[in-house]
Amino acid sequence: VQRNPLQREFHQAVTEVFESLWPFIAEHPRYAQQGLLERLVEPERIIIFRISWVDDAGQVQVNRGYRVQHSMAIGPYKGGLRFHPSVNLSVLKFLAFEQTFKNALTTLPMGGAKGGADFDPKGKSHGEIMRFCQAFATELFRHVGADTDVPAGDIGVGAREIGFLAGYLKKLTNRADCVLTGKPLHLGGSLIRPEATGYGTVYFAEEMLNQAKKSLQGMKVAVSGSGNVAQYAIEKAMALGAEVVTCSDSGGTVYDPDGFTAEKLALLMKIKNQDYGRVKDYAEQVGAQYLEGQRPWQIPVEVALPCATQNELDETDAKALIGNGVVCVAEGANMPCTQAAVHAFEAAEVLYAPGKASNAGGVATSGLEMSQNAARLAWPRQEVDRRLLEIMRGIHAACVQYGRQPDGRISYQHGANIAGFVKVADAMLAQGIV
Ligand code: NDP
């Protein structure tokens, strides 16, 4: 705390991982040697830079950009870029730390990183977004490379922004190699990458339910968010027979007791991805209830998929969900549940999956995009989806292996933390003190 003052989210993420690790390390003391734990919480490199750009009114705007390169122990730095006014060093350090374990869980050779800027894309014109991305790329290009650091999208950075960044990186470097994932298809992107985080989250929820002799078929599901992860979580949950009754954004929640249909989801995607509109507009158009300023967690459901942002589900929300009979919570977002919420779920024996396990399908498919780019070929949709499902099942199995408690119950929280840690820690120990 003294070394990283005021970094609340970073402390939260580290505490949550170490709560799982202490008993394991007590049984395996070699992991307490060589300053391993101290090294693991210190990012290998942090770059902070100025981004100056000119808005449509001719005014100069200044933002702060970051790239936190947390760990290269098992592969090139890998992790998304976030453009949101709440971005600061604490948020990006927590995300880069989590990313390191998540990437290890995929079993693909990727280190951990995260980056972004305190830029607010809301209300900006297409031209302003492009100029901002170009100004961001002007510094980013010095630090990325196919074998060094391969960023991707995150909140506020979707296919449009990745396209602008990729175009400018090519211009600056005179190279066409894969320095970003989540690229549009015609720039070397992978089929299924846009769907992967949402699909993977639902695959993971289904694996947990199957393990408990249940399934999503016929279950009521609450999804939060309405961006990339939420949209494809809704699609896959419907495909597996669930009824999705909510979505949200930072303005409020849509509650539709009749549930999503393919037509309604297509409308939500159009409003969010083409018109850059709000879920309030969507609620009006489909005649669903709009709960201004509220989150979806008071609505009775059996499955909750938080897919918006960190700390969007607190202890009160968790208790409301538990009271309403929730059986499964799988995080599509990164750290959406507060620590108190997680403790409440675990105490109530709700199946709970931390994001580093359940949302790892996005970065896993980014890893598959890197493989396709390196081989200069493109796999068909079914092939990528098959590999995604296989990877999610592998992560589930690793959580079960490391998360089995003395009473036979599985803590996915402990399982994911320990399984990710073991892979990174073994690689670090093998490489000496660096
Ligand atoms: P998008 O920008 O596509 O969507 C974000 C959604 O979350 C929007 O509905 C947004 O609403 C909402 N949201 C963002 N900030 C807040 C806030 N402070 N309060 C309430 N709602 C908010 O992002 P993604 O879908 O890509 O990312 C969502 C989450 O999933 C993030 O935690 C991200 O780190 C995580 N994730 C994403 C991956 C990916 O592949 N994209 C991979 C793994 C994890 P609004 O429009 O009002 O801001």
At 1 the pLDDT is 78
Q: pTM for this structure?
A: 0.97
For residue 419 the two structure tokens come to 């399984």
Give residue-wise pLDDT tens across range 336-391: 999 999 999 999 999 999 999 999 999 999 999 999 999 999 999 999 999 999 99
Question: 416 with 403: CB under 8 angstroms?
Answer: yes
Kindly give the distance from the C-alpha atom of residue 298 to the centroid of ligand 1, in angstroms, as a whole number: 20
Atom of ligand 1 nearest to the CA of 359: 43
Top mutation candidate among 114, 229, 311 for ligand 1, by most atoms within 8 Å of CB: 229
Q: Give the residue numbers annotated as catalytic, written as ranges.
A: 114
Question: 91 with 11: CB under 8 angstroms?
Answer: no
Kindly give the distance from the C-alpha atom of residue 243 to the centroid of ligand 1, in angstroms, as a whole number: 22
Residues 6+ apart with CB under 8 A from 333: 224, 225, 229, 306, 307, 308, 309, 310, 312, 355, 359
Neighbours of 107 (CB within 10 A): 17
Give residue-wise pLDDT tens across range 298-343: 999 999 999 999 999 999 999 999 999 999 999 999 999 999 999 9
Atom of ligand 1 nearest to the CA of 225: 9
Name residues contacting ligand 1 (CB within 6 A): 86, 153-156, 158, 197, 225-230, 249-251, 307-309, 312, 332-334, 359, 362
Give residue-wise pLDDT tens across range 71-88: 999 999 999 999 999 999
Residues 6+ apart with CB under 8 A from 89: 7, 10, 46, 48, 66, 68
Of all protein residues, whose CA lies closest to atom 48 belonging to ligand 1? 250
CA nearest to 303, candidates 208, 199, 229: 208
Distance CA 98, CA 334 (A): 8
- E strand spans, 4-84: 45-54, 60-71, 77-83
Atom of ligand 1 nearest to the CA of 309: 32
| DSSP state for residue 259 in the 8-state scheme | -
* pLDDT averaged over every residue in the chain: 97
CA nearest to 149, candidates 67, 49, 94, 93: 67
At 176 the pLDDT is 87
Instruction: Answer yes or no: is 170 a known binding residue.
Output: no
Distance CA 226, CA 264 (A): 12
